[in-house]
Structure 1
Amino acid sequence: MAADLITRIPQRAARWSAEHPWRAILTWFVLVAAATSLAVLVPTHEAEDADYRIGQSGRADAMAQESGLTGPDTELVLLSGDRTQVPDAAREVARRMTDAEGVSEVAPPIWNDDRTSMLVSVSLADGVDDAGPLEAVTASVAADHPDLSVRQTGGLSLDEDINDQVADDLASAEVISLPVTLVLMLLAFGALIAAGIPVLLALGSVAATMGISAVVSHIVPAEPTVGSMIVLIGMAVGVDYSLFYLKREREERARGRSTLDAVEIAAQTSGHSILVSGFAVAAAMSGLFLVDFVTFTSLAMGAIIVVAVAVVGSITVLPALLVKLGRWVDRPRVPLLWRLNRRIGAGGISRRILAPVVRRPALALAGSVAAATALAVPALGMTMHASNLETLPSGIPAVETMRDVAAEFPGEGTTVTVLAQGDGSALALGELASRATRDGDFTEVPGGVTTSDDGGTSSLTLALPWPDSDERTTDAITDLRGSLAPATPDGLEWAVGGDAASNLDFDEHLSAWMPVVIGFVLLLTLVMMGVAFRSVPLALVSTALNLVSVGVAFGVLTLVFQHGWLEGALGFTSPGFVIDWIPLFVLVVLVGLSMDYHVFVTGRIRELVGRGMPTRVAVERGIRDSASVVTSAAAVMVSVFAIFATLSMLEMKMMGVALSVAILLDATIIRLVMLPAALVLLGERVWWPRRPARPTGEVVDVRLEEPELTPVA
């Protein structure tokens, strides 16, 4: 019943669009324009600090917020150089900062331990969100003292510089990705209009999703990176879905079908694959909701929306455009590419790969599994940690300054904050500070114990000499929570927070939920494939191949970013770990996107079996016939993700490398070797419990002769 419904939806949508093409086209443009305008009319509600609270550190942050113990945002000015000139310059910074807009207090300048640098700490007033006036003061003092190094950093400075860097990265990626995608489409079709349609529809889907996401953000707060993720996923699936449909429509016209019949056949076959693929991507992304963390919830929501919009466009406006354009879709031709497409034909390269695979499937399967396993094994030693100063690009001035501040002034580096609530909280934290500094690796920050106005809540800040990614930092925080803090008197509510503790809580939360999400995503895609193709063995094979793809992606992440392979070529310095949220996100994206061409390929094989072909012949013919589509689809994904691998932000680089390498191997070794080898070995058993048959009333061509797949006139 569900499988029949999945087949009927694209057929009926295509039929209505073909019969009312102008209505379908106009409706699509109106919907895209209306949705896009929402991005201007409705301000996006971005996630706030409170949305990221998790575990014990989240409780500590909430206690500090409720009691008014949350410290003000601060900016730091670091001065170094001639020791005789540094104090005068530091006092000048303090004096000018006192009069600057948005400043509530300026602390006296302090020397570091070896008296080579001075630090001026500037507290900001509530609501200040612009570091510009303070940066102007710093620049002015630096100009007056050219022999000194006078630099500024802090929460606002870091955020502004990082946001500027991300914006520059994304603008660069967009400028490069569009022409690259268009060139790939020209190579696939050899005609400008056919190449432009998938790109334009994908852009429309992305633009519409940006507007819809602005509205949805008032229900699910938007993570700052959700925009780049929408572009990443939207361009990949939007182009691929149109590519599947357009390729099949051109193939049927090459057989002599009318445009209307070709569109209807494309709806029955490629339209079905698009719908199944869209559901698979949405199902995979929905696994992120289980983690119950704002970053994953926001990214999942954005991905599901852009995929849904792309599916709707592909099964509605695309058939309408094809009907109206007719054979004009293959104009204007690019002569060299057009002739090259005709000469290569369909499956020219894949035929050479498939022949030995089909002849010796057991050997091919064993060899490909061994190669994939070798790439996946390093994932067993993967270490994950939250992003920090070590993972930020070195070229950002505020980042370099903050690293120097942390090195010269440990109290400004890795710190933890202990909150205690109840009678005697200040005394208890004072005793805790003595124990922690005597028995542990902590040092108390000057003025470390503060108490709320009502005296009911107190806060203690302790510093650690290591970066928060160091295992010793993790051990120290665990020890503080496990043995030191519980020694406080009964009746006190306490919690250990701060950035390092928050990172630890998130890592533990993620580690607990990772197996659950993996199981959920694989189980859901297993059920979907079983329902869509009515085959238990095919669903199991599909799930196993997805697991192989994920293993390869995780192995590549570990080798490149944890062990530092290709640091020079990719332009980064290994932090010694993988940023914690990347593997889970890569998992769901990879499973979802790899289902695109997997569904297309298995759908073609099932179609041929339904026409009466033996499974062995159908596997070889189906993979060969769909090879050009799979190659083009994978090329689009790989190229888009590879562009992200060139960006400066390490998160984007990790995502780009993992997805581009995994999809490249997925589209070659896994889909051209593992899949056919497994299906040939299973033979007719792959269709258990029932061999597919052509439903009554289908108009799909039942001829078994080789189709003429050269471009049409």
Structure 2
Amino acid sequence: MTTSMLRPPEIRPDETLTSHRRPRNLAASVARFSARHRATAIGGWLLFVVLATALSAVIGTIGAEDSDYGNGESKRAAQIVDAAGFPERAGEMVIVQSGTLTADSTEFRGVVREAAAAVEATGQVENVNTDAVSEDGHSALVTFDMKGDPETAADRIEPVFAAVAGVQDRHPDLLVAQTGEVSIDEAIEGQVSDALGTLSMLSLPVTLGILIVAFGALLAAVLPLGLAVTAFLASLGLLAASSRFFPADDTVTHLMLLMGLAVGVDYCLFYIRREREERAKGASPEQALATAAATSGRSVLISAFTVIIAMAGMFLTRDTTFISLAVGTILVVATAALGSLTVLPAMLSKLGDKVDLGRIPGLYRRKSDGRFWRFVLRVVLRRPGVSATIAAAALVALALPALGMRPASDGIDGVKHDAAAIKTYDQVQAAFPGGADPATVVVKAPDVTNPAMTAAIADFKAKALATGQLHEPVTVEVNPDRTVARIGIGLSGTGTDKVSEQAIHTLRDDVIPTTLRGVDGADVTVTGGTAQSVDFNHALTRSVPLVFAFVLGLAFVLMLVSFRSVVVAVTAIVLNLLSVAAAYGALTLAFQHGWGAGLMDFQERGTITSWIPLFLFVILFGLSMDYHVFVLSRIREGHDRGWPTRLAVTRGIQNTAGVITSAAVVMVAVFALFTTAPLTAMKEMGFGLAIAVLLDATIVRAVLLPSVMAMLGERNWYLPRWLGWLPRLSHQ
């Protein structure tokens, strides 16, 4: 066998975008049009961004209301309450507590009366009540509602704070402190809005810094960031329009910025690095752009479809939060892909080699020498079986803790407890279990005030308190037409733990059926924070298999059609599931077991925020496939040129390793920033995404993928004869 027989086929220099042999694919066709009509492509993109941004400002984004959230029984209860005509109120409370005095002492009762009189004297409150006393007698509650629109109660609460502080100053030997809906919302809003705004802005310079290191040139670094930011701005306008059909969750814009930076930068990196690589080989600017458009452009298209498919799976949950996050992500990914396929080729065609303006000595290089990755691949491919076994075993070991993952609503435990209102909430919760966040029993009947129903409610109260899992204060409120009563009752536990969940089951399964249900045809339902968490987890258990089947099934079909190989499609699914499982395990160790509590500054709850696991699955599956498609496209490209599989794998991974490393560093850095957010759920999201991308870009792409493909050899490209009708898509 001669040396020439082993040499990869040469690419003819005349195979450009204008050649009769130019690649026939959508990405190449769009890039060809953009390159020929640069002014149209660039101007059209800017006009689109401006109009979409203006649309957002003009029509506004419709946010999800409280009634849009929830699942099952708790959601039905909330809807009954909304339709019953109860006055909308913002409830507050003041705890009066002493380590020595009890509620039956004259001094203690005097302070309680003074606190009640002080808040009432502000003229901002109504429905003041002083009946609630703790079981040990050392604590009492002064409950009241803020007058006026509850949405604007925060604007009127400062005099109430001042009045309570005055009572505390006059009685320093007792605790007199305020908490409640308005107080806590104001404290959380102050924590979250400032922190997330800072993090969102900080993500931009961090991303730019990493891109400068990756490209070694200022203009080349600014271009991906500019595309990502403009795609994000345009997608906000599209979100405003879509919110007419799918109300937007409060957190969706922060996620859109994250994903816009992640995929927008990725797509540009794929494109620009390939164009640079071709120029380093001696291709003309036109030839280099042609190759980048036909190869990296096509990878961008497939990757975007994969992410969109993954996110669309969340529609099957029929949950407002998931649907909102899915819509926002789909919009920003589709917009970033559109910009990458249209305005980016036009900009690169216009700039040519000027894209490398602002070269930084010591950092700039048109093509990475890849020495590190060549070394890694030599080690991995020397014994691919051993490499695959070690890598897979490490990921499986990391994934094992996920078997004990316990999702639950985070509630108030999901924020930092350093604000005064939240600290007071903890003190109320300790003195009155469940009193700060009670369950709400909703009774609907023709007349909830008739003697039979009144007796049933009294019986309910007695039997509920006798369980030891349900506690005072018990409140009863009737709507104006006396058809609906809502009963507030405290729960044992923290509101998010197993003790509170068991109390909900006792309430629903034991107490209500023997007291309220069936009396005068009453319809009885339960809502509240804990009930909503229980119902959410139940609904999620039903929908998760559907989401997994949808995402995995459509991703398999997309990979099968793109690469005409059953083995490649199955391998992609298995490797991505392995990296997601490992991320789950790391998340469980860090947050549920509290290993990361000190480092990331959060309160250990023994649970994972209920929406995080499914959300991470769809996001991580989409982002993992993003890398996988890019790598496999280069490998398939070599295979289609006639290279042996091992050579195609080696060169494909070696040539893409630098791009994937740069893209992964951007993602990990941006996602890791969110581990400093005040909300535990945001920390979980940032940590889960960062660790998964890190594992995927290193162990999976650099070790597992090449070793598995090397062992499979030509079997990688197996396609049954009966699937021969699948279209042949060019990878060159």
- TM-score, structure 2 normalization: 0.89
Aligned equivalent of 2:486: 459
Instruction: Read off the aligned partner of 1:485 and give its amino acid letter.
Output: I
Aligned equivalent of 2:17: none
Aligned equivalent of 1:66: 83
Determine whether 1:322 maps to 2:348. Answer: yes
**What is the DSSP-based 3-state SS (H/G/I as helix, E as strand, rest coil) of the residue aligned with 1:495?**
strand
Alpha-carbon separation, structure 2, partners of 1:218 and 1:86: 53
* Count of residue correspondences: 689
Instruction: Read off the aligned partner of 1:418 and give its amino acid letter.
Output: V
**What is the DSSP-based 3-state SS (H/G/I as helix, E as strand, rest coil) of the residue aligned with 1:413?**
coil
Q: Deviations over 1:584-620 (max 9, x none)?
A: 1111110111122211110000011111101111000
Cα shift at 1:649: 1.2
Give matches, 1:49-64, under 5 Å.
49-64=66-81
Cα shift at 1:33: 1.3
The answer as to whether partners of 1:429 and 1:458 remain within 8 angstroms in 2 is no
Alpha-carbon separation, structure 1, partners of 2:630 and 2:729: 22
Instruction: Read off the aligned partner of 1:136 and give its amino acid letter.
Output: P
**What is the DSSP-based 3-state SS (H/G/I as helix, E as strand, rest coil) of the residue aligned with 1:337?**
coil
Cα shift at 1:191: 0.6
Cα shift at 1:226: 0.4
Q: Deviations over 1:207-245 (max 9, x none)?
A: 111222122112111101101110111110010001100
Aligned equivalent of 1:215: 241
Q: Deviations over 1:545-585 (max 9, x none)?
A: 11101101110111110111122112122111101001111
**Bigger mean CA offset, 597-606 vs 401-410:** 401-410
Evaluate the alpha carbon distance shift between residue 352 and residue 361 of structure 1 in structure 2; reply closer, same or farther with a 3 A threshold: same
Aligned with 1:401 (options 420, 424, 428): 424
Evaluate the alpha carbon distance shift between residue 296 and residue 134 of structure 1 in structure 2; reply closer, same or farther with a 3 A threshold: same
Instruction: Read off the aligned partner of 2:436 and give its amino acid letter.
Output: G
Alpha-carbon separation, structure 2, partners of 1:699 and 1:505: 48
The answer as to whether partners of 1:89 and 1:141 remain within 8 angstroms in 2 is no
Instruction: Read off the aligned partner of 2:28 and give its amino acid letter.
Output: Q
Aligned equivalent of 1:119: 141
Give matches, 1:562-711, under 5 Å.
562-689=592-719
The answer as to whether partners of 2:441 and 2:524 remain within 8 angstroms in 1 is yes
Determine whether 1:44 maps to 2:66. Answer: no
Aligned equivalent of 2:508: 481
Aligned equivalent of 1:420: 443
Determine whether 1:224 maps to 2:250. Answer: yes
Instruction: Read off the aligned partner of 2:269 and give its amino acid letter.
Output: L
Alpha-carbon separation, structure 2, partners of 1:444 and 1:425: 20
**Bigger mean CA offset, 259-268 vs 154-163:** 154-163
Cα shift at 1:425: 3.5
Alpha-carbon separation, structure 1, partners of 2:529 and 2:695: 38
Aligned equivalent of 2:14: none
The answer as to whether partners of 2:89 and 2:149 remain within 8 angstroms in 1 is no
Alpha-carbon separation, structure 2, partners of 1:247 and 1:132: 53
Cα shift at 1:457: 3.0
Alpha-carbon separation, structure 2, partners of 1:439 and 1:634: 53
The answer as to whether partners of 1:101 and 1:133 remain within 8 angstroms in 2 is no
Cα shift at 1:348: 1.6
Cα shift at 1:432: 2.5
Instruction: Read off the aligned partner of 1:617 and give its amino acid letter.
Output: L
Determine whether 1:75 maps to 2:85. Answer: no
Instruction: Read off the aligned partner of 1:103 and give its amino acid letter.
Output: V
Evaluate the alpha carbon distance shift between residue 563 and residue 421 of structure 1 in structure 2; reply closer, same or farther with a 3 A threshold: same
**What is the DSSP-based 3-state SS (H/G/I as helix, E as strand, rest coil) of the residue aligned with 1:458?**
strand
Alpha-carbon separation, structure 2, partners of 1:697 and 1:421: 61
Aligned with 1:202 (options 217, 224, 228): 228
Aligned equivalent of 1:434: 462
Aligned with 1:376 (options 395, 399, 404): 399
Q: Deviations over 1:352-390 (max 9, x none)?
A: 111122221111111111000000010001111001122
Aligned equivalent of 1:107: 129
The answer as to whether partners of 2:271 and 2:292 remain within 8 angstroms in 1 is yes
Q: Deviations over 1:61-90 (max 9, x none)?
A: 222233335773212233457978876665
Alpha-carbon separation, structure 1, partners of 2:118 and 2:730: 80
**What is the DSSP-based 3-state SS (H/G/I as helix, E as strand, rest coil) of the residue aligned with 1:78?**
strand
Instruction: Read off the aligned partner of 2:422 and give its amino acid letter.
Output: V
The answer as to whether partners of 2:167 and 2:176 remain within 8 angstroms in 1 is no
Aligned equivalent of 2:185: 159
Aligned equivalent of 2:522: 492
Alpha-carbon separation, structure 2, partners of 1:662 and 1:165: 27
Evaluate the alpha carbon distance shift between residue 477 and residue 81 of structure 1 in structure 2; reply closer, same or farther with a 3 A threshold: closer
Cα shift at 1:332: 1.2
Instruction: Read off the aligned partner of 1:151 and give its amino acid letter.
Output: A
Alpha-carbon separation, structure 1, partners of 2:697 and 2:642: 27
Aligned with 2:582 (options 544, 552, 565): 552
**What is the DSSP-based 3-state SS (H/G/I as helix, E as strand, rest coil) of the residue aligned with 1:394?**
coil
Alpha-carbon separation, structure 1, partners of 2:111 and 2:503: 38
Cα shift at 1:455: 3.5
Alpha-carbon separation, structure 2, partners of 1:393 and 1:497: 25
Q: Deviations over 1:635-665 (max 9, x none)?
A: 1111111111122210111011111111101
**Bigger mean CA offset, 124-133 vs 670-679:** 124-133
Cα shift at 1:26: 1.2
Alpha-carbon separation, structure 1, partners of 2:730 and 2:604: 56
Aligned equivalent of 1:239: 265
Q: Deviations over 1:445-466 (max 9, x none)?
A: 34x3444443433333322232
Evaluate the alpha carbon distance shift between residue 218 and residue 86 of structure 1 in structure 2; reply closer, same or farther with a 3 A threshold: farther
Evaluate the alpha carbon distance shift between residue 87 and residue 428 of structure 1 in structure 2; reply closer, same or farther with a 3 A threshold: closer
Alpha-carbon separation, structure 2, partners of 1:73 and 1:145: 23
Evaluate the alpha carbon distance shift between residue 515 and residue 397 of structure 1 in structure 2; reply closer, same or farther with a 3 A threshold: farther
Aligned equivalent of 2:13: none
Q: What value does the CA root-mean-square deviation take over the aligned residues?
A: 2.5
Identity %: 42
Instruction: Read off the aligned partner of 2:40 and give its amino acid letter.
Output: R
Alpha-carbon separation, structure 1, partners of 2:561 and 2:621: 17
**What is the DSSP-based 3-state SS (H/G/I as helix, E as strand, rest coil) of the residue aligned with 1:377?**
helix
Q: Which stretches in structure 2 are left out of the alignment for 5+ residues?
A: 1-22, 447-451
Cα shift at 1:411: 5.7
Aligned equivalent of 2:41: 24
Alpha-carbon separation, structure 2, partners of 1:150 and 1:431: 34
Q: Which stretches in structure 1 are left out of the alignment for 5+ residues?
A: 1-5, 701-713
Instruction: Read off the aligned partner of 1:512 and give its amino acid letter.
Output: R
Cα shift at 1:110: 5.6
Aligned equivalent of 1:98: 120
**Bigger mean CA offset, 193-202 vs 167-176:** 167-176
Instruction: Read off the aligned partner of 1:179 and give its amino acid letter.
Output: P
Determine whether 1:506 maps to 2:536. Answer: yes
Evaluate the alpha carbon distance shift between residue 454 and residue 176 of structure 1 in structure 2; reply closer, same or farther with a 3 A threshold: closer
The answer as to whether partners of 1:59 and 1:495 remain within 8 angstroms in 2 is yes
Cα shift at 1:412: 2.1
Evaluate the alpha carbon distance shift between residue 70 and residue 615 of structure 1 in structure 2; reply closer, same or farther with a 3 A threshold: farther
Cα shift at 1:111: 5.2
**What is the DSSP-based 3-state SS (H/G/I as helix, E as strand, rest coil) of the residue aligned with 2:182?**
helix
**What is the DSSP-based 3-state SS (H/G/I as helix, E as strand, rest coil) of the residue aligned with 2:278?**
helix
Instruction: Read off the aligned partner of 1:605 and give its amino acid letter.
Output: I
Cα shift at 1:117: 4.6
Evaluate the alpha carbon distance shift between residue 699 and residue 668 of structure 1 in structure 2; reply closer, same or farther with a 3 A threshold: closer
The answer as to whether partners of 1:442 and 1:464 remain within 8 angstroms in 2 is yes
